[in-house]
Chains A and B, each alone.
Chain A
Amino acid sequence: MNWSTLMLVCCVMLIPVSGWAQDERLVRRLDPEVREAVLALIDSAGLDRLPVEPLIDKALEGVSKGAPGEAIVRAVRDLRDALVGSRDALGRDAGEAAVTAGAAALRLGVTQAHLRDVAAGAGGNLAVRLSVLADLVALGVPDDTAATALLALSRAGAVDAQLLELRERVQRDVVAGVRPSVAMRLRLRGFPVSLPPRRDGGS
């Protein structure tokens, strides 16, 4: 029995423990050329300890929507860059859900400074606050308004459920035709929140 050889074989077998390089979903659904480019991006993200599942999701979304290969690669790259920006703003201790939510907010135009502002709020779940921030901005609420409101609310002791309720109410108002910034100010009445001046020029 050659124990040196045995140890070498065991070490080689343990190398692919993370599994993302052989993700069966990507192997099955992506063209080889696109898969190679996407896997390179995912591998670099994984080595940098970024969340990789959102990147895999993005590639699968592109395939389902019939997007050309270069669009899929570009989208995965853009998302990876946003994850890096989110992690840089939130710090390496931020959890994967928070980094992912922060990346979504960055891609909507929220600045890293605003991410840090929201992260400075005490208590609750950071991923919830960042997700609500991203969705409020997606609804059309100016990012500085949304970030200021969320920071003030969390410092005032608002719990995650209240932030989610705020998001749902603003959404209902916007669907009903209310301007996003107006909806936001209406729903914040009664809270000790001082918002920045409105930029939309309305009443």
Chain B
Amino acid sequence: MSGGARRLPCGGRVDRGRPLECRFNGRRHHGLAGDTLASALLANGVRLVGRSFKFHRPRGVMSAGIEETNAIVQLCGDGEPNVLATRLWLTDGLAARSVNCWPGVAFDVGAIADKLWRVLPAGFYNKTFIWPPGFWRFYEYFIRKAAGLGRAPTAAEPARYEKRFHHCDVLVAGAGPAGLTASLAAARSGARVMLVDDQPEPGGDLLNAPAEIDGRTALDWVAAVVGEIDACPDVVRLSDATAFGYYDHNFLGVVEQRPKPPAIRERVWKVRARQVVLATGAIERPLVFADNDRPGVMLASAARAYVIRFGVRPGNTAVVFTNNNGAYGAAFDLAGNGVAVAAIIDVRADAPRSLLDKASALGIEVVLGHAIVGVRGRRQVAGVEAAPLEHPARARRFACDLVCASGGWNPTVNLFSQSGGRLRYDRGRACFVPETSVQAAHCAGAANGAFALGDCLAEGFGAGAAAARAAGYDVDIPGPPAATPTLPLDIEPLWEAPHGRRTAKAFVDVLNDVTTDDIRLAVREGYDAVEHLKRYTTGGMGLDQGKTANANIIGVLAQTLGSDIPAVGTTSFRPPYRPVSLGAIAGADIGPLVRPARRTPMTDWHEAAGAVMYDVAVGWRRPGYYPRPGETMAQAVSRECLSARDRAGMYDSSPLGKFEITGPDATTLLNRIYTNAWDDLAVGRGRYGVMLREDGRVLDDGVTFRLGAHQYLMSSTTGNAELVYAWLERWLQCEWPDFQVFVVPVTTQWANAVVCGPRARETLRCAGTDIDVERDAFPFLAIRNGTVAGFPARVARVSFTGELSFEVNVPARYGLDLWRALMAAGAEFGITPVGSEANQVLRVEKGFFAMGIETDGMATPHDLGLGWIVGKKKTDFVGKRSLARDDAVGGVRRQLVGLFTEDPRIVLPEGSQIAAPDGARTDGAIAGHVTSSVHSPTLGRSIALALLDDGRSRGGETVTIPLPEGAVRATVTRPVFYDPEGARMRG
């Protein structure tokens, strides 16, 4: 028969006109459009689909949905791992294989673990850490090899993903009966509705179980309602889309699979909803009994779904095991579709007359007050043993190849709980239900514990109307549709069926192989709080996050403790509700878009010149060094340094933070922000300044020029440009709102090229400038306006290299042309572009500290040798008061020093710890660390800067730097290695 031998002749939501072929573990199988891989496998009689995580026990399809614990597959061809076969929609040629088995699912070497169960108890993994001592390093290899399920693909993901923002009045999660009536009510009011559902077609459980609504079949009703919803102009309806996370302020994440157009593989919607309706349904709870994991044991709702929705007989002869009325419907549907039902084993002493009568009419034996106490068959269920609850030994045998179990229903409260909502244990329905919402969320239907269809329709309608009203829409519409009344669940909780066999395992978490014995062991070992138990046993920590396990774990725990379920409580529900692929989370933000690079007008030039580019501070892409053919990095850096020292160099310092500060109170602002005084700075001159945090620690430094009586140009370090701006604004807006000052960030308005070196002046002249660049006319720390190479320019004499330097600032649009003109002008003087590597060497040679490298949030200006810049006469500035506190003036301070290694060839690794100086403490204490360390081509030896305890008074002392290759000794020096008087930069 088309679509597999176990396909029913008609019925189901599969397209019998579209047969598909797929491969599973190398075998070819036939399915139909509308199948999942799981339904196709069942249709082809495949029972063994995987091996379990820890014991490698044979497993078969357990569910028909997102709660699947067993049918976990890997897509072939370096494809996605850990895909649920119950959620994998069949496409022609689809190829997948089982995970966690070798060499194959039928013969699996790892299955030996099932025989070794005595040495693999709960907490086994934790115990290997501590006992026997030191054995962890032997275990680790095997545990790591055994850990995990599928294999991550090795190649880059070729598919495209995207993210999209969406705003709506009412977001409805779930398109089952409750979600549909909620959407209908809200959409009719005119609200902007978004309806998301994780199935390819709407209907929810109506797809799996026959019902009648408003006098027609449920699916006809669904089609009509969806038609009306879709006709509303402001409705967005997504299929194959799961709301996976409910975050603060009604912000939800929705992952949409197979979106249209098909160019995108998955799309994440970031939705801000004014109101949310959670109609997320419920998941059936398995029953816990001996060997309840055998292939052929599945949820009653799943067996029903395979028959009704997929037209597949999941077995020939079924035994239904239940503690509630719901599973009877499943039994009747199975019986009506060619599956023999050997018996309904009902835990309860009695069942409603109507159900018993119908069973009798269908020839189904109902065995009341019994439980399944054993399962026969290992790779495939061959039969069950059922016994009275009080007499587990008095078992009766039933031959079957399918066991359909129902332990009640767990409302899918995950999103509600993520939103901060509180849960309540409902004894009547034996499940946790939503109690109070913290956010603007309304629960409806099975998610709210309303399991009867009529209640779902009514609750959904009410929630949708309430949400629309709360979002400001008028709802004046007829009431909800009516459904044929159904029986209540009448559940009698059974957390664990009795069994007498010592070797049988009764699983509470089938995916993670956690048994009821594991729970009792954990309790004996003291892990009896529900959150501890979870981590110790790993129950509920698998791929499915315990969708079917958690309730039974709580039940068994409460029973073991002789406690009450509300007292035991639940573990936290955290996003995501289901695994979301990393591709979907990343969206289009991959490769160069992970963090888009900031580029200066000259970045193209650097790249064209062959520079090795670095992505550094706050996203700027900068040249590291410009190697010539055949040059090593060290050779290139050395050449660039020497060129700047001996002839001329040029670097792009456009990313430096720049702020124009204007207004009558500009000088006062600088006086308060910087440690030094600014009143006497002449127009056209600049001054170095250090700003502190209020705790007296250095925040940033830079040179500020006075452009006019009430106008300054401040610079900050590149990395702190945003921080300094926020800092200035905070003081102005929050503390000194009466100041008349504007701060305007102009960092990217200006591009600048810094020409440095002894031939810098000639280079500038050669490029052509109307500024008098002679030393007397244009001294160090002065700024001039004019033209350079024909471009309007602000030229400043500042130096970060210790050489004579001109920082030529031009409006950004001229940056590249300016750079080219200066390179051309400097050619005859041997001008060389200087990258950040050489810049680092040059500044270390000069002992200029770098923010964030020599400062670590602890350094005061005194620690850095900047005592001279702290205005003693100033009454106040930010941070001044803290400099007078005990911790700043007394005790041991870590201070900036220079280091000369005894062996000049050794370049100390940056970050190396410095042992206490000779003769000082001998307790192995750390006395400091190397902050910057380079080979200085100018000096022909290694040099380093370091922060050292009381370093400023340790000049000449020897310190030891312990390294893996052996200790290195170094002499403490002043932190300046070149031109200590600064004659060159002032020249």
Do A and B originate from a single complex?
no
